[in-house]
């Protein structure tokens, strides 16, 4: 028995672009709908959203049923917050607000196994086939097939960006424009020159060191982002889709009522 492969890593390693979408709602049926739509990866959240590990487990099972990956944005804190999604067999984790090279080194230390880091070993959970995967295979394949994505979403780590990207154990750099704009004192100004330059530098650093770059965007930005070097693009979110849907119903209702 083996650790399951990551669709995200396999596609990016083959030079393809991954389509992701963000899911805030805990109900795993949302993920089933996304799976039927053909989306590659679900980005679920424990930083800003009140999901617990039982909900993450159900979401993960839904992605596995539809051949998708799931990336869990973890809570910062103890190592358990970072490794439990992996032990539930999540495809990868996203660690928010990496602020320095030392911060990134600590993430690697806690989330990758020997010889890269010192992630605590269990192997008796879903990611290790509840013990059916041998220890040597478990450690080696986990390092190769579970991805660690770090968010560059603040100006502080930019001074050490090249060193962060060079770290063995970092699989993806993810540029977060919203918090970056906040961090430079220009909230929501996504065309700010400092933000535009940072987005370019993140992709360049990832490419230079054989890592992958991810970010958020829209279909209209896809060509620009891919040309820049981004191969993991998150488009949209469930809450945004529902907001548009319910606003549309409300507006259609009011328009119809004018004719009654």
pLDDT by residue for the chain (260 residues), tens only, comes to 999 999 999 999 999 999 999 999 999 999 999 999 999 999 999 999 999 999 999 999 999 999 999 999 999 988 999 999 999 999 999 999 999 999 999 999 999 999 999 999 999 999 999 999 999 999 999 999 999 999 999 999 999 999 999 999 999 999 999 999 999 999 999 999 999 999 999 999 999 999 999 999 999 999 999 999 999 999 999 999 999 999 999 999 999 999 88
Q: pTM here?
A: 0.95
Distance from C-alpha of 84 to C-alpha of 78, rounded to nearest angstrom = 11
Q: Decide: residue 151, CB within 10 A, 0-12 exposed, 13-18 middle, 19+ buried.
A: buried
Helix (H, G, I), strand (E, B) or coil at 247: helix
Q: What is the distance between the alpha carbons of residues 11 and 247, in angstroms, rounded to a whole number?
A: 36
What pLDDT is recorded for position 188?
A: 96
CA-wise closest residue to 27 among 56, 53, 69, 49: 56
Q: What's residue 180's pLDDT?
A: 98
Looking at residue 154, the DSSP 8-state letter turns out to be S
Per-residue pLDDT at 137: 97
**Residues 56 and 44 sit within 8 Å (Cβ to Cβ):** yes
How far is residue 90's CA from residue 45's CA, in Å, rounded to a whole number?
Answer: 12
Determine the pLDDT at residue 77. 87
Reduce the DSSP state of residue 44 to 3 states and report it: strand
| Secondary structure class of 140 (helix, strand, coil) | helix
**pLDDT tens by residue, 199-238:** 999 999 999 999 999 999 999 999 999 999 999 999 999 9
Preceding amide of 115 cis, omega within 30: yes
Contact 198, 180 (CB under 8 A): yes
Q: Which residues pair with 69 in a beta bridge?
A: 41
Query: DSSP H helical segments within the chain, as ranges?
Result: 7-13, 28-37, 53-65, 79-87, 101-111, 135-145, 161-166, 177-183, 193-208, 222-228, 238-257
Q: Across the chain, how many H-helices and E-strands are there? A: 11, 8
How far is the C-alpha of 53 from the C-alpha of 80, rounded, in Å?
11
41 forms beta bridges with 20, 69
CB 149 within 8 A of CB 169: no
């Amino acid at each position: 028995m083996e650790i399951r492969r990551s669709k995200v890593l396999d596609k990016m390693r083959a030079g393809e672009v991954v389509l992701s979408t963000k899911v805030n709602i805990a109900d795993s049926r949302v993920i089933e709908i996304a799976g039927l739509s053909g989306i590659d990866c679900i980005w679920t959240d424990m930083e800003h959203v009140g999901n617990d590990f039982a909900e993450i487990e159900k979401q993960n099972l839904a992605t596995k049923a539809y051949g998708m990956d799931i990336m869990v944005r973890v809570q910062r804190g103890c190592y358990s917050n970072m490794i439990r999604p992996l032990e539930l067999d999540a495809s990868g984790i996203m660690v928010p607000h990496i602020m320095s090279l030392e911060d990134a080194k600590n993430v690697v230390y806690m989330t990758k196994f020997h010889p890269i880091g010192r992630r605590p070993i269990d192997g008796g959970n879903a990611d290790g086939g509840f013990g059916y995967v041998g220890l040597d295979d478990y450690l080696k394949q986990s390092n190769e097939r579970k991805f660690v994505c770090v968010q560059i979403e603040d100006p502080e780590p930019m001074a050490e960006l090249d060193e962060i990207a060079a770290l063995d154990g970092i699989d993806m750099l993810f540029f977060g424009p919203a918090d970056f704009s906040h961090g430079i004192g220009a909230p929501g100004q996504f065309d700010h020159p400092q933000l535009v330059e940072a987005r370019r530098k993140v992709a360049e650093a990832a490419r230079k060191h054989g890592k992958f770059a991810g970010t958020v965007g829209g279909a209209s930005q896809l060509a620009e982002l891919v040309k820049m070097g981004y191969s993991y693009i998150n488009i949209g979110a469930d809450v945004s889709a529902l907001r548009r849907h319910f606003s549309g119903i409300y507006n259609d209702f009011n328009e119809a009522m004018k004719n009654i």
